[in-house]
Amino acid sequence: MIEVTIDSVRIGLMNQKPEYQYVVLLKEQSSKRYLPIFIGQNEARAILMRLKNEPVPRPMTHDLLQSIIENLGGKVDSIAITSLEGDVFFAKIMLTINGQKHEVDSRPSDALALALRVDARIYVNESVMDKTAITMEKDADSDEFILDQADQIEPEGKGGTMTEEEKKRLGVFRDFIDNLDMDGLDSK
């Protein structure tokens, strides 16, 4: 498993599914690789509110889930993006309740929103990261991110040239990067 952090939530203008207009970017801690996951508006809001420490007048769903887990004597140890089937990511929440370890299936967006609330570590399965991560470099003289040598990327672990299917999949990420709304990007 590869440890990641939530880098940001952005508007993904090129997504074909209108109900998933937002994208959460997970950044690998030890490199410049990012994992983009498209999420719904409500999930994006739940993640953004926590990232910005915005107060809420009443508990949101993920606050309620945190409260239930803690009131039952449980603790969220970590969450993991475990697999990808087609264009759908799957996640698990790792819990300890009364000394026993449990894994609960989850949507990545819900697991991420919960992880933010309980300060849990976030992991991505290595094969998922290798298949779907994008590399971005921040240009020293610019606030824009650029895809790093996208045309020269070879599939990891395979060697050789990219297949048409791999080029098509990479094209989706190129479109995504080209349409990121980078206004207001905080320097980190």
Average pLDDT on 7-21 reads 69
Helix (H, G, I), strand (E, B) or coil at 45: helix
CA distances from 117 to 2, 45, 65, 70, 147 (A): 20, 14, 10, 12, 31
All domains in the chain, ordered by first residue:
2-178 (3.10.690.10)
Q: Which residue did the predictor score with more confidence, 116 or 157? A: 116
Kind of pairing, strands 88-97 and 100-106? Answer: antiparallel
**Residue 93 exposed, middle or buried by CB count within 10 Å (0-12, 13-18, 19+):** buried
Report pLDDT for 28: 94
Q: Which residues pair with 123 in a beta bridge?
A: 3, 80
pTM: 0.70
Query: What average pLDDT is seen over the chain?
Result: 80
Q: What backbone phi and psi angles, to 5 degrees, belong to 168?
A: -65, -45
Separate counts of helices (H) and strands (E) for the chain: 5, 9
DSSP line for 62-100: HHHHHHHHHHTTEEEEEEEEEEEETTEEEEEEEEEETTE
* pLDDT tens, residue by residue, 164-185: 776 666 677 667 776 666 555 5
* pLDDT tens, residue by residue, 27-74: 998 888 999 999 988 899 899 988 888 888 888 889 899 999 999 999
Cβ(42)–Cβ(60) under 8 Å? no
Nearest to 37 by CA among 119, 116, 104, 131: 131
Report pLDDT for 55: 86
